[in-house]
Amino acid sequence: MSKETTVVIVLVVYKITLILIGLWAQRRTHSNTDFFVGGRALGPFVASISYAASSASAWSILSLSAAAFTFGLSTIWMFVGLILGHGGSWLWLAPRLQRLAAAEKLVTLTDVLALDGTERTKRAIRLFAAAVVTFCFVFYVATQFMGAGKAFASTFDMSMSTSILLGGGIVLIYTLLGGFWAVSVTDTLQGMLMLVAALLLPALALIEVGGPIGLWQGLQAISSPEQLSLTGPNVGLMALGFVVGTMAMGLGAFGQPHLLTRFMALKSQKAVRTAQKFAIFWFVVVLGNMVVLGLCGRILITQPLADPEQLFFVMTDSLLPTVLGAILLAAVLSAIMSTADSQLLVSASAVAHDVMGEPDEGENRLWVSRLVIAVLCGLSVAVAIYLPSDIFSRVMFAWGALGSAFGPVVLLRLAGVRLNPKMILPSMLIGLSLTILFYLQPNSIGDILERLVPFLICFILLYATKLNFTQKDTP
């Protein structure tokens, strides 16, 4: 049996499984609360693994390994920053957000942002937040579909456009069918596949290079001093800026709507505590092993790669038999779809729930949500085909924009700071605008301007204008 035939069989079985999950989930979806937060009945295992899979996306498997392959040991700071960001999010944000969402019956992250103030202020916050989510996620989802194109292109004689359309169609079908339940359960399956991929392929690569000692000796033999340095070519204050800027990508975790809704959907504080362990373990294993894979690839791949983000597929071909390689290809597509489906769902909630107002708890509003998902999926496919970009830079832009716009509000509100509702909208506008501005400029050391400065400015602005306990928000 040829490689192409094996891959097709594995993928067909896998996709049928996803669609069956969507059909099962449809029977549990009767209202917008079910559709967007699973009726607040999500268990710890599903919540933690679906969160992890939705966060990791294509970039963790394709781009993180490519970064380690290209830049060497300095990539470790990406790993550290993301572990701190996601770990802090689970350990500090999750219990507080679950408690708040259950008490106030909040459905979306925008409900958290617009919790206080006059009706006019709340409405303005909701509209702008929905616009930010939609803008960022159209580009974010487009990037996931581009990752799908790379996965198919590595195996089949298929054009990028056809690959993008195929991946987008599958995601659209099961997201439309079951909403949050379908997304969460399929993300859990996909997250476990990603975990298997992150355990298997780096382990085989490490054995191939002679273990940790062989890896270090091999890196010393072929790498430049910059690739062996933890700060790359940077020294002194530039080295400090590089480390801080690279680690600052973890701040984005505090403002991602598609991730924080998992906290809001957890059924209890006990479930939160259990989920924390699963999630942190997953991130350490998957992200850490992708760095290892990239470093091993520096030794095992002797020919230059035109696209370093193809490293995972090249290593799969060289180290694994056909069937296992097909399963790992499914794992990559899992990473892509697990992020795309969550982001489509959050974008739909931004329009159907946040813009249109309070949902009625029946079937008649669901068609709006599903229509929005279909339109946004179509826009993302169009962007992926006609405005291509590399995966890493576009993901980091959308990640940083959402983190800077929403993260400071979420952190301070959950810390008990009495925010001035009138300053929330300006803060979000500043966070988004500064991220876009710095993204369009030449890269700073460690991208510190884009990743850290907007977040800090918004955080300071909100804290400096907070209300004391005797002040009231007036119209």
pLDDT value at 412 more than 60: yes
| pLDDT score at 215 | 96
Distance CA 268, CA 126 (A): 27
Q: What is the mean pLDDT of residues 380-405?
A: 86
Q: What is the mean pLDDT of residues 174-180?
A: 61
Percent of the chain at pLDDT exceeding 90: 42
The pTM (predicted TM-score) of the whole model is 0.86
445 occurs within a structural domain: no
| pLDDT score at 43 | 78
Q: Is 42 helix (H, G, I), strand (E, B) or coil?
A: strand
| pLDDT score at 473 | 54
Q: What is the mean pLDDT of residues 436-446?
A: 87
Distance CA 145, CA 58 (A): 9
Q: 128 or 178: which carries more pLDDT confidence?
A: 128
401 occurs within a structural domain: no
Exposed/middle/buried for residue 18 (C-beta within 10 Å: 0-12, 13-18, 19+): buried
Model confidence over 88-101: pLDDT tens digits?
Answer: 999 999 999 999 98
Q: How confident is the model at residue 81 (pLDDT cuts 50, 70, 90)?
A: very high
Distance CA 383, CA 392 (A): 16
Q: What is the mean pLDDT of residues 238-247?
A: 94
| Position 301, amino acid | I
Taking a C-beta distance cutoff of 8 angstroms, is the pair 3, 320 a contact? no
Q: What is the mean pLDDT of residues 99-114?
A: 87
| pLDDT score at 183 | 62
pLDDT value at 358 more than 90: no
Q: Is 266 helix (H, G, I), strand (E, B) or coil?
A: strand
Distance CA 451, CA 438 (A): 9
pLDDT value at 360 more than 80: no
Q: What is the mean pLDDT of residues 19-28?
A: 61
Q: How confident is the model at residue 102 (pLDDT cuts 50, 70, 90)?
A: confident
425 occurs within a structural domain: no
| pLDDT score at 320 | 86
Q: How confident is the model at residue 182 (pLDDT cuts 50, 70, 90)?
A: low
Its domain, for residue 36, covers 3-390
411 occurs within a structural domain: no
pLDDT value at 432 more than 50: yes
**406: closest CA among 259, 272, 296?**
259
Backbone angles phi, psi at 121, to 5 degrees: -65, -45
CA angle 247/199/95 to nearest 5° reads: 50
| pLDDT score at 175 | 66
Taking a C-beta distance cutoff of 8 angstroms, is the pair 447, 396 a contact? yes
| pLDDT score at 134 | 85
| pLDDT score at 342 | 67
470 occurs within a structural domain: no
Model confidence over 288-302: pLDDT tens digits?
Answer: 999 999 999 999 998
Q: How confident is the model at residue 38 (pLDDT cuts 50, 70, 90)?
A: very low
> Which residues have a Cβ under 8 Å from the Cβ of 345 and sit 6 or more positions away?
35, 36, 175, 179, 180, 183, 258, 373
**180: closest CA among 110, 130, 108, 99?**
108
pLDDT value at 362 more than 50: no
439 occurs within a structural domain: no
What's the total number of domains in the chain?
1
| Position 69, amino acid | F
167 occurs within a structural domain: yes
Q: 373 or 389: which carries more pLDDT confidence?
A: 373
83-97, 103-117, 269-283, 331-345: segment of lowest average pLDDT: 331-345
Distance CA 60, CA 275 (A): 21
- Going by the DSSP 8-state scheme, the letter that residue 353 receives in this structure is I
91 occurs within a structural domain: yes
**CA atoms within a 13 Å half-sphere pointing along the CA-CB vector of 460:** 6
| Ordered alpha helix ranges (H), 223-352 | 225-228, 236-247, 257-265, 269-300, 311-319, 322-349
CATH code for position 8: 1.20.1730.10
Model confidence over 200-235: pLDDT tens digits?
Answer: 999 999 999 999 999 999 999 999 999 999 999 999
Average confidence score pLDDT of the chain: 83
Percent of the chain at pLDDT exceeding 70: 81
| Position 392, amino acid | F
Taking a C-beta distance cutoff of 8 angstroms, is the pair 337, 190 a contact? yes
CB-CB neighbours of 452 under 10 Å: 22
> Which tokens go with 295?
């470093």
Exposed/middle/buried for residue 405 (C-beta within 10 Å: 0-12, 13-18, 19+): buried
Taking a C-beta distance cutoff of 8 angstroms, is the pair 93, 256 a contact? no
Q: How confident is the model at residue 321 (pLDDT cuts 50, 70, 90)?
A: confident
> Which tokens go with 217?
């000796």
